[in-house]
Amino acid sequence: MKNRIILILGILCTILLIGNISSCSNALKQKVARDKEMFSRLDLEERTSKYTNEKAALEQQVEEAKAAVEAAKRELAQENIANQALKEELEKVTKLKETLEENLKEALVKKKK
């Protein structure tokens, strides 16, 4: 009877020991999986933060580029207005020159007569 109780207690201890080892092994696997997931999430969070910062910087660069383009458009419009004014002035001067040449020709013709 005593041997039987010792045998049953031995088997029970062995079963509990195997259960305990299995539980510890399972807990270790879960810890490793949790640590891996945490690392993955932290990595994703860092990359997301990095991309968000890069996006904000790029958006700021786009806004600056838009402002530069608008300034260049305004400057081009001013240059076009100045060019148009110069063309008109050149046309006036050309007409004046032609008129003066005609007057000079007429004066030369009158002088010859």
> pLDDT (tens digit, 9 = 90+) per residue, 71-110?
999 999 999 999 999 999 999 999 999 999 999 988 888 8
Number of separate domains in the chain:
1
Say if residue 48's pLDDT is above 80: yes
Cα–Cα distance measured from residue 60 to residue 67, given in angstroms and rounded to the nearest whole number = 11
Task: Write down the pLDDT at residue 109.
Answer: 83
Cα–Cα distance measured from residue 64 to residue 59, given in angstroms and rounded to the nearest whole number = 9
Q: Domain range spanning residue 65?
A: 1-113
Cα–Cα distance measured from residue 9 to residue 6, given in angstroms and rounded to the nearest whole number = 5
Q: Per-residue DSSP letters for 60-104?
A: HHHHHHHHHHHHHHHHHHHHHHHHHHHHHHHHHHHHHHHHHHHHH
Task: Write down the pLDDT at residue 91.
Answer: 96
Cα–Cα distance measured from residue 63 to residue 70, given in angstroms and rounded to the nearest whole number = 10
H helix and E strand count, the chain: 1, 0
User: 108 Cβ partners below 8 Å, 6+ apart?
Assistant: none
Q: What percent of the chain has pLDDT over 90?
A: 88
